[in-house]
């Protein structure tokens, strides 16, 4: 039984989708004109054109931007450039095969819907890969590609479901979000650091905004409290509010027990396999020859363009199929200037092994202090493609002569020192000061307190040796969290009195 609050939420989103149909159509056509002027390759143009026809995605960006057309237009252009730069349309489950090992099961997969007709993605942390086939890549590289693949599948799935409901003339057609159910039972100690957390958060917030309705975490134990205390400092308020630590009984108003896997406490006896995962086969196989269905127009005029079907009837190849240029296109001028700054995706070096495990000591703790040391270089690399698109072929770029290496090195060292000092001050007195206090206290507690806790636990028969290390770390982290919170509040109170 759907609650009244859930019904109101569904109706409200659908009304926004219908009421802003003209705005969605205008933005779609404006973007189509923009990609015509970018000089893209036939492949990239076809991918960008398919993406622009997804009016559910355009609605999500508009809603995220408070229905500001210019702001949504800018963000979508940046996302299109990011998609081309990272070959998002070519992602497939074969490129992330470690997350779909047949022997143990998939780390995450889509299966059934919740009571509001949102697709459910089940995440089982116990199946997080321990090794990857390319040991030269950092772990963040593999997680980044996998997160993009799953969110791209969610985008295509919600678009397709909306198209089907519109074709059936249902009252509430929009399916714009997914619901995540995360089971951390028997989960290994995941190698979370600031780079991984920020990369995943950037993908969800910037490239697929408003896609995830809620993240429902099951079997959250006290040993994870310390990690959560530090992770939440790196998340936006919207992301933190979407995460719910819940139980199966508390999930029942949201998801029917018949739609919850039996291994998570529900009644569904479904067992994942590659052959049975129809959503993965349909939307996770990368670039396919047959385009996804064009979203039916949300306005009364449902016959403005039939370009996809026309192209298929003529037997043209996908790269040669173009959408009809409607009259409305002529009245919308080209954008005078496109964004100069493209926010970077986290690029990865090949210096660390990709074996998953708990990151201990300095590598783990310092990752939360300085994660932007390569931001300028990353940003220049990501921005190169869009700059080349707009640069006329007749322009000759002359590079300035390089400076003296010693002088350049001194200036670079001075700049790095200033940035590091500013970062320390921000962590100490800024909004993330609690993170700094936690790290410092954790350092001091690692010695005598952690040793005392380990000796105490060894005397009890409650814990075996496999769990002794993780339990000790969890208790130490929780103690550090309690003291850091108290210290942060005390310092803030003192500063206000001064």
Both tokens of 160, joined, read 């397709």
Give residue 493's pLDDT.
61
Q: Report the pLDDT value the prediction gives residue 215, as an integer from 0 to 100.
A: 94
Q: What is the pLDDT of residue 229?
A: 76
- Is it the case that residue 486 has pLDDT exceeding 80? no
pLDDT band per the 50, 70, 90 thresholds, residue 186: confident
Query: pLDDT exceeding 70 applies to what percent of the chain?
Result: 61
Residue 330's CB: how many other CB atoms inside 10 A?
Answer: 10
Per-residue pLDDT band at 446 (split at 50, 70, 90): low
pLDDT of residue 329: 38
How far apart CA 105 and CA 441 sit, in angstroms, is 39
pLDDT given for residue 30 in this prediction: 96
Instruction: Point out the least confidently predicted range of 223-227, 359-363, 439-443.
Output: 359-363
Strand partners, 439: none
Could you read off the pLDDT of 125-157 as tens digits, one per residue? 999 998 888 889 999 999 999 999 999 999 999
CA gap 247, 244 in Å, rounded: 10
Q: What is the mean pLDDT of the segment spanning 335-355?
A: 42
- Model confidence band, residue 373 (pLDDT cutoffs 50, 70, 90): very low
For residue 61, the model assigns a pLDDT of: 98
Confidence at residue 459, expressed as pLDDT on a 0 to 100 scale: 72
- Report the b/e string of 89-122 with b at 16+ CB within 10 A: bebbbeebebbbeeeeebbbbbbebbbbebbbbb
CA angle at residue 50 from 46 to 56, to 5 degrees? Answer: 165
Q: Is the pLDDT of residue 377 over 50?
A: no
What is the C-alpha to C-alpha distance for residues 293 and 156, in angstroms, rounded to an integer? 10
* Distance from C-alpha of 363 to C-alpha of 334, rounded to nearest angstrom: 48
pLDDT computed for residue 412 by the predictor: 57
pLDDT at residue 47 is higher than 90: yes
Nearest to 334 by CA among 8, 30, 9, 91: 30
C-alpha R_g of the chain: 25
Burial 460-470 (b: 16+ CB within 10 A, else e): eeeeeeeeeee
pLDDT at 375 exceeding the cut of 70? no
Higher pLDDT, residue 245 or 317: 245
- Higher pLDDT residue, 283 or 432? 283
Cβ neighbours, 10 Å, residue 353:
14
Summarize pLDDT for 12-29 with one digit per residue, the tens: 999 999 999 999 999 999
Confidence band, pLDDT 50/70/90 cuts, at residue 361: very low
Query: What pairing do the DSSP bridges indicate for beta strands 243-245 and 212-218?
Result: parallel
- Residue scoring higher pLDDT (95 or 56): 56
Contact (CB, 8 A) for 283 and 156:
yes
| Predicted local confidence at residue 135, as pLDDT | 85
Residue with the bigger pLDDT between 442 and 5: it is 5
Q: What burial class does residue 175 get, using C-beta atoms within 10 Å of its C-beta: 0-12 exposed, 13-18 middle, 19+ buried?
A: buried
Residue 423 has pLDDT above 70, yes or no: no
**Rounded distance between C-alpha atoms, residue 342 and residue 74, angstroms:** 10
Sign, CA dihedral 132-137-141-145, equals negative
pLDDT at 237: 83
* pLDDT confidence of residue 385: 44
59: pLDDT confidence band, cut at 50, 70 and 90? very high
Whose tokens are 């010695």? That residue is 447
Domains of the chain: 4-89+305-328 (no CATH), 90-283 (3.40.525.10), 413-497 (no CATH)
**pLDDT computed for residue 374 by the predictor:** 46
Average pLDDT, the chain: 75
Indicate if the pLDDT at residue 280 is higher than 80: yes
Q: Which residue has the higher pLDDT, 336 or 23?
A: 23
Q: How confident is the model at residue 456 (pLDDT cuts 50, 70, 90)?
A: confident
Strand order through the sheet with 212-218: 108-113, 119-124, 178-183, 212-218, 243-245
For residue 354, the model assigns a pLDDT of: 39
State residue 58's pLDDT score: 98
Lowest mean pLDDT among 36-45, 350-359, 399-408, 423-432: 350-359
CB 38 within 8 A of CB 47: no
Residue 406 binned pLDDT confidence (cut-offs 50, 70, 90): low
- pLDDT band of residue 356 (cuts 50, 70, 90) is very low
Q: What percent of the chain has pLDDT over 90?
A: 44
Mean pLDDT over 236-259 rounds to 91
The first and second tokens of residue 239, run together, are 């992301």
Tally the residues of the chain.
498
Confidence of residue 444 (pLDDT cuts 50, 70, 90): low
- Mean pLDDT value of segment 306-314: 39
Q: Give the pLDDT of residue 336.
A: 42
Phi-psi region of 121 (alpha: psi -120 to 50; beta: other; left: phi over 0): beta
Q: What are phi and psi of 111, to 5 degrees?
A: -160, 120
- The answer to whether residue 264 scores a pLDDT higher than 60 is yes
pLDDT, tens digit (0-9, with 9 covering 90-100), for 92-127: 999 999 999 877 789 999 999 999 999 999 999 999
Give me the pLDDT at residue 497, please: 61
pLDDT in tens, 188-238: 777 677 888 889 999 999 999 999 999 999 988 777 777 777 777 777 788
Instruction: State how far the Cα of 20 lies from the Cα of 26, in Å rounded to an integer.
Output: 10
**Both tokens of residue 248?**
């199966």
Residues 286-305 pLDDT 10s: 875 444 454 454 444 443 33
């Amino acid at each position: 039984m759907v609650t009244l609050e859930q019904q109101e939420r569904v109706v409200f989103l659908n009304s926004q989708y219908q009421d802003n149909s003209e705005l969605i159509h205008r933005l779609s056509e404006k973007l189509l004109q923009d990609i015509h002027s970018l000089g893209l390759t036939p492949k990239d143009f076809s991918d960008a054109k398919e993406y622009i026809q997804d009016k559910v995605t355009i609605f999500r960006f508009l809603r995220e931007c408070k229905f500001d057309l210019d702001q949504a237009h800018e963000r979508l252009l940046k996302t299109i450039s990011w998609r081309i730069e990272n070959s998002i349309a070519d992602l497939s489950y074969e490129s992330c095969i470690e997350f779909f090992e047949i022997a143990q099961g998939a780390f995450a997969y889509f299966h059934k819907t919740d009571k509001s007709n949102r697709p459910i993605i089940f995440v089982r942390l116990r199946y997080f890969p321990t090794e990857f086939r390319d040991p030269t890549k950092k772990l963040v590289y593999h997680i980044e590609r996998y997160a993009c693949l799953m969110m791209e599948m969610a985008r295509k799935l919600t678009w397709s479901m909306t198209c089907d409901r519109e074709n059936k003339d249902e009252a509430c057609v929009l399916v714009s979000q997914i619901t995540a159910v995360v089971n951390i039972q028997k989960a290994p100690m995941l190698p979370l650091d600031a780079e991984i957390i920020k990369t995943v958060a950037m993908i969800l917030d910037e490239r697929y905004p408003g896609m995830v309705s809620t993240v429902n975490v099951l079997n959250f134990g006290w040993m994870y409290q310390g990690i959560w205390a530090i992770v939440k400092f790196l998340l936006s308020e919207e992301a933190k509010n979407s995460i719910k630590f819940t139980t199966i009984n508390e999930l029942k108003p949201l998801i029917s027990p018949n739609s919850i896997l039996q291994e998570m406490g529900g009644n569904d006896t479904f067992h994942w396999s590659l052959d049975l995962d129809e959503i993965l086969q349909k939307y996770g196989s990368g670039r396919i020859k047959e385009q996804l269905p064009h979203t039916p127009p949300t306005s009364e005029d449902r016959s403005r363009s039939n370009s996809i079907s026309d192209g298929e009837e003529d037997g043209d190849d996908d790269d040669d199929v173009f959408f009809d240029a409607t009259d409305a296109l002529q009245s919308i001028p080209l954008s005078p200037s496109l964004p100069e700054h493209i926010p970077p995706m986290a690029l990865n070096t090949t210096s660390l092994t990709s074996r998953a495990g708990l990151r201990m000591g300095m590598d783990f703790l310092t990752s939360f202090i300085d994660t932007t040391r390569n931001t300028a270089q990353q940003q220049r690399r990501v921005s190169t493609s869009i700059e080349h698109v707009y640069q006329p072929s007749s322009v000759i770029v002359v590079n300035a002569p390089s400076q003296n290496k010693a002088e350049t090195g001194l200036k670079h060292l001075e700049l790095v020192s200033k940035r590091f000092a500013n970062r320390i001050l921000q962590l100490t007195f800024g909004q993330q000061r609690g993170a700094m206090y936690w790290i410092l206290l954790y350092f001091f507690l690692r010695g005598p307190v952690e040793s005392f806790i380990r000796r105490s636990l060894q005397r009890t028969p409650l814990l075996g040796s496999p769990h002794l290390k993780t339990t000790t770390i969890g208790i130490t982290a929780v103690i550090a969290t309690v003291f850091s919170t108290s210290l942060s509040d005390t310092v803030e109170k003192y500063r206000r009195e001064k």
